[in-house]
Chains A and B, each alone.
Chain A
């Protein structure tokens, strides 16, 4: 049977655009739909990424979507002591702060340049299944109901991860694996413009407060709190407002933008493919459970997934068996790291403010020259082996 498209990608974030682009490059007829009226908006991101994360997926850095480059990171303990990681050569977790609204459009444009068709204000409301296989989607396109068939539907619908669930793949998260976030883009701040700052402890239970520079006296000031640590509605915003109020570098600032959202801090999905279905990016739960960073991992899933889809088009076979090459590919790339960081997260959220103070104190004296979770864990393993005992083999 002739389908309307070889591939329909639901969601035009970086993971969706990367999948669409690489599938189309390999000859697939691709439609990418976005329910919002603008790609890259509304934003739900702190916008930090490493250069390496982009290099790996062959995205060349373009100054137009880089807001600022950072010289390093500052990890601040509950008592205010600072563990500073300086590096001119940016490392794994941070390095640049993006303009996501421009970055997302730039990646979508790359997809368009290789033939991907894009529809805006076009939502998916369900998948179409036949004999247990996904064969298309239905939804609303600018107010009009539609049905479209495809060899493969790509679930790139982000944290919401509904497409996979409609198709029968469970993507449910435990409250201990969900971080709820709120962020202001603020200006007139007195923070250091060259450093990404992470503030730990009970100011952000199970998460952290971040200050990511956006040039001059402007920064993304945000908070993530673990859902299982929340008690009252609206508490996340209240935690951030309270923190800003008492910090003299921040309380002189004014907001330019406010945004909310949630991220998974879980292990990845056990299964990211089914007959006629591929799950990429945040929808596949590939966000780093320690940093909450998901742009690079999402791009990587799309980079791998798109290429596998091109092969499926050539073979005219979108079976789970054929798509498994994608599942195996991204796991090979990042699964061990995601498990290790999830175990680290589980451990660190049990630590008291006093323990965090002492860990950060010893780290400052030990010194870490390269900014990556791995390097920090390695230093902790040397100085506080008891904290990483359960997963020391992974460090």
Chain B
């Protein structure tokens, strides 16, 4: 998952929405763990469009 830190407002909308509980917000830093299954719900939830699914490596 790619986080645009210039757009992210650290609101936690993606954290609570994630069905896998794979997102963690430590005050201002968003991290995604291995439970992320690329469902993309967080991308749609983000009120400011700060998240983007990266192409699979």
Chain A interface (Cβ < 8 Å from any Cβ of B): 35-37, 42, 44, 121, 123, 125, 140, 158-162, 165-166, 172-173, 175, 178, 180-182, 227, 230-237, 258-262, 264
Give the contacting residue for A165; candidates B12, B21, B44, B52; CB below 8 A: B21
Residues on A with beta carbons closer than 8 Å to the beta carbon of B45:
178, 180, 227, 230, 262
Given contacts A159-B16, A160-B12, contact A233 B26 (CB under 8 A): no
Q: 13 additional contacts, CB 8 Å, given A35-B26, A35-B27?
A: A36-B27, A125-B24, A159-B12, A162-B24, A166-B21, A227-B17, A227-B45, A230-B44, A233-B52, A234-B7, A258-B9, A262-B12, A262-B16
Q: Which residues 1-55 of B sit at the A interface, judged by CB distance below 8 A?
A: 7, 9-13, 15-17, 19, 21, 24-27, 41, 43-52
Residues on A with beta carbons closer than 8 Å to the beta carbon of B15:
159-160, 162
Q: Is the CB of B19 within 8 A of A42?
A: no
Q: B17: shortest Cβ distance to chain A, in Å?
A: 6
A196 to B45, CA, bound (A): 26
Given contacts A121-B27, A260-B48, contact A158 B16 (CB under 8 A): yes
Residues on A with beta carbons closer than 8 Å to the beta carbon of B19:
172
Q: Is the CB of A261 within 8 A of B27?
A: no
Q: Which residue of B lies closest to A159 (CB)?
A: B16
Q: Which residue of B lies closest to A121 (CB)?
A: B27
A35 to B15, CA, bound (A): 14
Residues on B with beta carbons closer than 8 Å to the beta carbon of A173:
16-17
Q: Which residue of B lies closest to A181 (CB)?
A: B47
Q: A15: shortest Cβ distance to chain B, in Å?
A: 15
Given contacts A178-B45, A227-B45, contact A262 B11 (CB under 8 A): yes
Residues on A with beta carbons closer than 8 Å to the beta carbon of B7:
234
Q: Is the CB of A237 within 8 A of B10?
A: no
Q: A197: shortest Cβ distance to chain B, in Å?
A: 20
Given contacts A42-B10, A260-B11, contact A161 B16 (CB under 8 A): yes
Residues on B with beta carbons closer than 8 Å to the beta carbon of A235:
44, 49
Q: Which residue of B lies closest to A42 (CB)?
A: B10
Residues on B with beta carbons closer than 8 Å to the beta carbon of A35:
26-27
Q: Which residue of B lies closest to A224 (CB)?
A: B47
Q: B14: shortest Cβ distance to chain A, in Å?
A: 8
Q: Is the CB of A237 within 8 A of B49?
A: yes
Residues on A with beta carbons closer than 8 Å to the beta carbon of B25:
160
Q: Is the CB of B21 within 8 A of A162?
A: yes
Give the contacting residue for A160; candidates B16, B46, B50, B52; CB below 8 A: B16
A256 to B39, CA, bound (A): 35
Q: A104: shortest Cβ distance to chain B, in Å?
A: 16
A37 to B10, CA, bound (A): 13
Residues on A with beta carbons closer than 8 Å to the beta carbon of B50:
234
Give the contacting residue for B12; candidates A123, A178, A258, A261; CB below 8 A: A261
A158 to B24, CA, bound (A): 13
